[in-house]
Amino acid sequence: MQLTLAEVLPALEGLYPAATAQSWDQVGLVSGDLGQRVERVLFAVDPTLAVIEEARALGADLLVTHHPLLLRGVHSVATNRAKGAAVTALVVHDIALYVAHTNADAASPGVNDALAEAMGLLDVEPLAVVEGHPLGRVGRLPSPISLAEFAQAAAAALPTTAGGLRVAGPPQAQVERVAVMGGAGDDLFEQVRASGADVYLTADLRHHPVLEAREETRGGPPYIVDAGHWATESLWLASAARRLGASLAGADGRGPKVETHISTLRTDPWDFVVGTRSHPASGGTS
């Protein structure tokens, strides 16, 4: 049985309701004909031109991404600009685009559950409630470890990126209670402190908010780990693909099926770093 886009959309909306997105966000269907068939779905973090080409080469009918293509106002879709080229490629190749962004952050399970699971957290609960919806997660490690050990474990659990992980805090400090927020999370420092977390793992951390957060705690916990935007959110893709397939197949597994794929492209924008300083526990510089 062939599914149409109109039949797949309710399953996506059921998993990641648009009503749970933050007020500033742009989620849901971006391109596509409701009557077009959907046999193959590609999941990716970013709707970049390379990812859209990957979808075309795969023969995907639907691309589901975490990040919006058109988050801010666009006044032209001419192909001499990247946004216009992306929209044109989607339309010309009959690829529907669906976005699940902060509604996927708020979902349970969602982006932050995948991150908490990768960190091995137990007794997980929401970190904060923003605009009535849960964001981030906080839980505990099976046993206390040093901050350096935690950072190394996080690096092993997350996809490798050129920038690696940046850590604020003494390597030997003991951590057990952990807060996580996939993607940009430097607007939740107050909630992290209130949660009693020893360490906060997130991404896209800016100089002034981090400096102020460290000053507020006088150098104590919560310590901070910047693990990269793409890396902290890409773990969700496999869960999203499984959940969509299961939702369409139904409780008995006999419903219509779609072929799901996870993008193989690293859309982290950074390619290399120079002049980094290793943490004292590792010795030397690199």
Q: Which band of pLDDT confidence, cut at 50, 70 and 90, is reported for residue 75? A: confident
Lowest mean pLDDT among 97-111, 182-196, 271-285: 271-285
pLDDT at 286: 40
The pLDDT value recorded for residue 276 is: 86
Measured CA to CA, the distance from residue 168 to residue 197 in angstroms comes to: 14
Q: Do domains 3-104+234-262 and 108-227 have the same CATH topology?
A: yes
* Residue 60 · residue 258 · CB < 8 Å: no
Mean pLDDT score of the chain: 95
Question: Which uninterrupted H or E stretch holds 203?
Answer: strand 199-203
Say which CATH architecture domain 108-227 belongs to. Answer: 3-Layer(aba) Sandwich (3.40)
* Nearest C-alpha neighbor of 206 from the set 194, 196, 214: 214
Please indicate whether residue 132 or residue 282 has the higher confidence score (pLDDT): 132
244 near 260, Cβ under 8 Å? Answer: yes
Of the pLDDT bands very low, low, confident and very high (cuts 50, 70, 90), residue 283 is very low
The token pair at 263 is: 């993008």
Q: Cα–Cα distance between 8 and 152 in angstroms, integer?
A: 40
Mean of pLDDT values over 144-170: 97
Residue 282 reports pLDDT greater than 60:
no
Pairing of strands 37-38, 3-4: antiparallel
Q: Tell me: domain 3-104+234-262, CATH 3.40.1390.30, correct?
A: yes
Confidence of residue 74 (pLDDT cuts 50, 70, 90): confident
Domain segments of the chain as ranges: 3-104+234-262, 108-227
Banded pLDDT at 50 (limits 50, 70, 90): very high
Nearest to 137 by CA among 73, 74, 202, 59: 202
Nearest CA-CA partner of 185 in 213, 162, 160, 218: 213
Is residue 284 predicted with pLDDT exceeding 80?
no
The answer to whether residue 77 scores a pLDDT higher than 70 is yes
pLDDT band at 279; cut points 50, 70, 90: low
Distances (CA, A) of 163 to 51, 141, 167: 21, 25, 12
Rounded Cα distance, 42 and 58, in Å? 8
